[in-house]
Chain A
Amino acid sequence: MQRWWNQRRLTSIEQVGRVTILLVIAMLFTVSAALADSSADNIKNCPDQNWCAYHRTTNSAWRYSPLNQINPQNIKQLRPVWMFQPGEVQMGLQSTPLVIDGMMYVSTNPSTVWKLNAATGERIWAYVPKMNDVVVARTLFSHARGLAIGDGRVYMGLADGRVVALDEKDGTVIWEKQLVESKKDTAGFSGSGTFVSSDLLVIGQNGGEYPVEGRVFGLNPKTGEVKWTFYTTGRDDPQALATWGGDSWKYGGGGSWQPGTVDYENNQILLGTGNPNPDYDYCGDKCMDANAKGWRPGLNLYTSSTVALDLNTGKLNWYFQEAPSDPYDYDASPGEYVLLDDGGRKLVLHPGKNGFNHVHDRKTGRPLAVYPDMKNYNWTSGFNIETRQWENMLWPKVGEKTLVCPAIDGGHSWNAGTYNPQTKLFYRVVNEWCMFLTVNPPEGGKVTEGAETRVTEPFAQSFFNAEWMSTDPPNEKTHARLTARDPITGKLAWEKRYDVLPHSALLSTAGGLLFNATYEGFVEALDAKTGEVLWRFNNGSGHNGGIISYAVDGKQYIAVPTGHGSYVGRLIGGTLFKDKLVNYKESSMVVVFALP
């Protein structure tokens, strides 16, 4: 076949006309490309080719990519196309990268940001802040799990208590604010913020392990100015303060160390708060009474809770406590807030560290379904929807070794699941493990992790007030299950067992695929409908970050943060499965895949 321009000579008028059409088409493409930037509108309505926020979208947290070029028919051809090694291996790579218009932004530990060409891995810039090494060495949380992006700025909370905004183009600092006095509080930032709009960035500090006042900040993204602060232990809120014995709220921890999801319709953000401090108390079955003797007697509102905060003021719209007076460290910060619509009902789903999935009316917070995703739980017999109470709670007695399931590291850990609107299934890794917990007596003792008593001067020390050891659930070995459920009813479609616990955030795609990554090294693609493993690749190291998908120039990519590390990861690799993960060492890399 001859090409059209050889078929006949064009007249001048025709030539001008065609050139004009081509120019218009070229302009349209240019405009289209210009629109797909990190403007507030594009972050709120994330274009298909991008990964705009920690959970891809700020307003659903589905971790679902609408791209379908890679599918069950061609998945076996998927190959690695580039790798990135930051050379910073301390505690592995725990991040979920962001991608905007062919550029990847990824954070590494303790608080570094990289901009890479998302098609080639070429380094564009790196932000390596000068940090207070002493503070970074002291904190348990010297890692960066993610970034926020919007209006041409990349936002990160640092381990030393600062929040910075970087110029997307060259990585220069636009503003920097010291929001947590980490030199005194030891706590800082480790999770990503949420870019809500051109006028609001929300980010929470960590802190449940430290005797400090946990906070969530609403910031002006242009300047870093604090617009509002939500105190997770109830400052200025009589309802909350009445649930703390004495002034224990001042040292009550909490915080909020993973990003929330924006419910624009109700002008609120839904997020989880951390556990109260100390993690364990000696008041036993009296702990819910604020007048009992203990470090923090009372319900300890609003710790270990889902909270809905007004975007304009940071005021509380509703809350739901996932472990009253939390005796187990089932803090609610980990676990994504998945927004779902069900025949007109506007819902939010939260997989909790307590091993349950919680479904709420997202306007009122009313719990509609609370069902166990975990099989081996013993801390409660379940949640009664009618009375709105956790029933038959287990109260560990001081000085006695008590079997508690799930273990402190959670039935659901902090790496997220994914919801696929095609299959209408929610996929999540749930861990079947327990612990023997021994709570310290009031006078202290040798059974302890962290400081023996509350230490706030000259700086806060982590304070757990107990000793615990991981153990298997009754009658079976510690293991994990990848469950595929109807997110609202909890009906199980299929499940897959993992003998070694995986610790990666999942990805599902419009190509009908579900991606997971194991601690033995494999990234794998499953058929989202059946759970059948269709493809595997050995990255040569464990996984602790979030798998993403994006497209550049029409080509779909899968990016997988790899590397051993994180506290849960260390427990998996360094303690529980040492025999399988021989000579476990920390590592860090991004591996990116595409079709030939």
Chain B
Amino acid sequence: MRARLYIRWALVCAASLAMLGALSLGEPLNAVAQAQPTTLGPSSNPLSGNPEAIEQGRKLYFTWCVQCHGPKADGRSRFGEYAKDLRQFSLGYSVFFATVVAGRPAKKMPPWGEYLSPEDIQRIGAYLETLAIAGANWKD
């Protein structure tokens, strides 16, 4: 049942991604993110602001995401600046969820739907919201 639920989630998410495919995820040339904390607007993540979820999300982030997105979630790891700066994730909670589930293998973002439950993805999102800087958007 759980597996079917994930597959259903994955399909829904993949469809959302396809619709959003035309959106550019790129950065302006040589853009430098201003690492100023920001007051985050409303979030669609049901676990947003939940302290327990945030701590669990932090542990999950430092297990599964940190390799590429780096310890500060700014897309910088020892392997360069090649991953998305998650502090300024601007495409909204649904796209975040969909991207984590289905991945973007062409950009070396693996699909995580097989390994992370929907709740775990929500927890990671809740943690990332705490790192938000100007430009971040978790409402969709």
Contacts and interface: CB of A to CB of B under 8 A. Distances in A.
Interface of A: 90, 133-134, 136-138, 140, 142, 408, 444, 446-453, 455, 458-459, 461-462, 464, 467-468, 567, 570-571, 574-575, 583
B71 A458 contact: no
A134 B70 CA distance: 20
Contacts, number: 66
Contact of A452 (B30, B63, B109, B111): B63
A136 B78 CA distance: 19
A182 to B, nearest CB: 12
B71 A451 contact: no
A575 B105 contact: no
B66 A452 contact: yes
A450 B105 contact: no
Given A452-B59, A468-B78, A567-B79, A137 B71 contact: no
B81 A575 contact: yes
Interface in B65-122: 66-67, 70-71, 77-82, 103, 105, 108-111, 115
Contacts of A455: 63
A345 to B, nearest CB: 41
Given A137-B103, A467-B71, A448 B109 contact: no
Contacts of B70: 449
B80 A567 contact: yes
A137 B110 contact: yes
Closest 6 CB pairs between A and B? Answer: A570-B80, A452-B62, A133-B105, A137-B110, A137-B105, A574-B80
Given A452-B62, A567-B78, 20 more contacts: A90-B108, A133-B105, A137-B108, A140-B67, A140-B79, A444-B62, A447-B71, A449-B66, A449-B71, A449-B77, A450-B66, A459-B115, A461-B64, A468-B78, A567-B79, A567-B80, A570-B82, A571-B78, A571-B80, A583-B29
Interface string B24-40: 00000110000000000
Contacts of A570: 79-80, 82
Given A571-B80, A574-B80, A137 B109 contact: yes
Contacts of A468: 78
Interface residues of B, number: 23
A455 B103 CA distance: 20
A108 B117 CA distance: 36
Contacts of A461: 63-64, 67
Contacts of A467: 71
B103 to A, nearest CB: 7
A567 B82 CA distance: 11
A458 B115 contact: yes
A446 B66 CA distance: 10
Nearest to A409: B78
27 contacts: A90-B108, A133-B105, A134-B105, A138-B110, A140-B79, A142-B108, A408-B78, A447-B71, A448-B62, A448-B71, A449-B67, A450-B67, A451-B62, A451-B64, A451-B67, A452-B62, A452-B66, A458-B115, A459-B115, A461-B63, A462-B67, A464-B78, A571-B80, A574-B80, A574-B81, A575-B81, A583-B29
Contacts of A90: 108
Nearest to B64: A461
A567 B67 CA distance: 13
A575 B80 contact: yes
Contacts of B115: 458-459
B41 to A, nearest CB: 26
Contact of B63 (A134, A453, A571): A453
Contacts of A450: 66-67
A452 B103 CA distance: 22
Contacts of A575: 80-81
Contacts of A567: 78-80
B126 to A, nearest CB: 17
Nearest to B104: A137
Nearest to B29: A583
A462 B66 CA distance: 10
A467 B62 CA distance: 13
A90 B79 CA distance: 13
A467 B63 CA distance: 15
A461 B78 CA distance: 15
A278 B70 CA distance: 17
Given A570-B79, A575-B80, A446 B71 contact: yes
A263 to B, nearest CB: 35
A449 B105 contact: no
A378 B111 CA distance: 42
A574 B110 CA distance: 23
B71 A134 contact: no
Contacts of B105: 133-134, 136-137
Contacts of B81: 574-575
Q: Which of B30, B70, B108 counts the most chain A CB atoms within 10 A?
A: B108
B82 to A, nearest CB: 7
B26 to A, nearest CB: 12
A81 to B, nearest CB: 33
A111 to B, nearest CB: 14
Contacts of B67: 140, 449-451, 461-462
B93 to A, nearest CB: 23
Contacts of A464: 78
A453 B58 CA distance: 13
Nearest to A463: B67
B37 to A, nearest CB: 16
Nearest to B107: A137
A458 B70 CA distance: 21
Q: Which of A136, A450, A462 counts the most chain B CB atoms within 10 A?
A: A450
Contacts of B78: 408, 449, 464, 468, 567, 571
A450 B65 CA distance: 8
A136 B103 CA distance: 12
A160 B40 CA distance: 41
Contacts of A140: 67, 79
A142 B115 CA distance: 21
Contacts of A458: 115
Nearest to B68: A140
A575 to B, nearest CB: 7
Q: Which of A90, A447, A449, A467 counts the most chain B CB atoms within 10 A?
A: A449
A451 B79 contact: no
